[in-house]
Amino acid sequence: MLSGRILTPDGWINGSIAFDQRIQHIRENHDAHSTLTILPGFIDLHVHGAAGVDIMQGGDAGDAVARAHAKHGTTAMLGTTMTATDNSIRRALRGLAPVIAQRPTGAARMLGVHLEGPFLSIHKLGAQPADAVTVGSMDLVRDYHALAPIRAMTLATEVDGHLALIPQLNELGIRVQIGHSNGSYEDGVAALKAGAAGFTHLYNGMTELNHYRPGIVGAALAHAEYAEIIPDLQHVAPGAIHAALRAIPRLYGVTDATSATGMPDGEYGLGSQRVYKCLGCVRLATGSLAGSVLTMDQALRNFVGLGLELADASNRLSLYPADYLGEHERGRLTQGAWADIVVLNAELQPVAVFVEGEAIDLTTN
């Protein structure tokens, strides 16, 4: 049982929360006094790596990444792939499959895969390698989906043939996200009408907002219900984050974390490419940003630092991503939900994390 200031779907209460794998009950106690804050565990829908390990390595990489992020309050996540050769993508998916099927002890729950590429625009690749970009097909997607469940997919929807894929991807239970796209505003609107559900790392890797040519960013700001954003304060300026917060009701934070997360400055892998961590960010040799070293607890502190109320910041890292995936027994502290819990001190640093009721050891590397 935990006691403290608890964020429930009905607001804050002072009280206690009892749980095993699931939450048994939450009881209010007006006389309870604690400096601890109890929030739903964070849900990160865009994670490439951590602790020197990259998802694209395959093998037990997903296990290591899920363990590393759990120590920062992430209780559920999507293992995210990179644009790569067909063999490399298949290797990564085979590595993720057993971690998705059975959560390892001490790790966040791997809910499935975010397939970020290879169905992108060669004009908006960011850190994605150009030589492996390809046009999407349902046969290929079904092959990948059979190896490991794909829950979200980044798609440059303006590429010939991609718009027609969206309803078929939805039928497989895949949330289509517009991203790494050189499309117009009209292309973005058409994709949303076809069933696209969100946008991958809003502002980054897409046509920017111009008052004559609103671009994909304009389509998101005008019409999106959901979109991811990387709140590391390097990928997106604070003013642009505030604009998105006003425009997109369920804007949610992701880390886009790489293998350099939690590691000292130096050279690391991101798929087939080498990236360099320095001064709190990750870049290609060209100087372009290439993912981040953000963790979800830092994302919470950054949102609060931008002026968001703590409950709002929490929703954007737990409730909204859970609802986006249809995971209605996660991302909220309520009776019967999974006991995915993060306990924070007055400085919003995690002092305890529980994944499906299991206490995560925060002391080991």
In a domain, 156, yes or no: yes
246 Cβ contact list (under 8 Å, min separation 6): none
Active site positions, annotated: 256
- For the stretch 260-279, pLDDT in tens is 999 998 988 888 888 899 87
Q: In angstroms, what CA-CA distances link 327 with 105, 225, 360?
A: 21, 17, 22
By residue range, what is the domain housing residue 102? Answer: 41-328
Average pLDDT, the chain: 95
> What is the model's pLDDT at position 313?
98
pLDDT at 45 (0 to 100): 98
Rounded to whole angstroms, how far apart are CA atoms 71 and 78?
A: 16
Confidence check: pLDDT of 365 > 80? no
Residue 95 lies in a domain: yes
CATH of the domain at 138: 3.20.20.140
- What is the pLDDT, as a whole number, of residue 21? 97
In a domain, 364, yes or no: no
Give the C-alpha separation, 39 to 19, whole Å. 14
How far apart, in whole angstroms, are the C-alpha atoms of residue 30 and residue 40?
21
Cβ(70)–Cβ(355) below 8 Å: yes
Residue 30 pLDDT > 80, yes or no?
Answer: no
Yes or no: say if 197 and 324 are a contact pair by the CB < 8 Å rule: yes
Q: What is the C-alpha to C-alpha distance for residues 122 and 203, in angstroms, rounded to an integer?
A: 17
| Interval 156-171 mean pLDDT | 97
Cis peptide before 118 (omega within 30 of 0): yes
Residue 349, in any domain of the structure: no
**Two tokens, residue 302:** 């950054």
Mean pLDDT of 90-96: 97
In the chain, what percentage of residues exceed pLDDT 70?
99
Residue 240 lies in a domain: yes
User: What is the C-alpha to C-alpha distance for residues 80 and 59, in angstroms, rounded to an integer?
Assistant: 14
Classify residue 341: in a domain, yes or no: no
Query: How high is the pLDDT of residue 270?
Result: 84
**Is the separation of the CB atoms in 45 and 254 below 8 Å?**
yes
Q: Residue 36 and residue 114: Cα distance in Å, rounded? A: 33
Output 265 or 241, whichever has higher pLDDT.
241
Per-residue pLDDT tens for 190-232? 999 999 999 999 999 999 999 999 999 999 999 999 999 999 9
Q: How many domains does the chain have?
A: 1
Quick one: which of 202, 243, 276 has its CA closest to 45? 202
Q: Which residues contact 101 (CB under 8 A, 6 or more apart)?
A: none
Cβ distance 109 to 77 under 8 Å?
yes
- Specify if 31 maps to a domain: no
Q: What is the pLDDT of residue 287?
A: 82
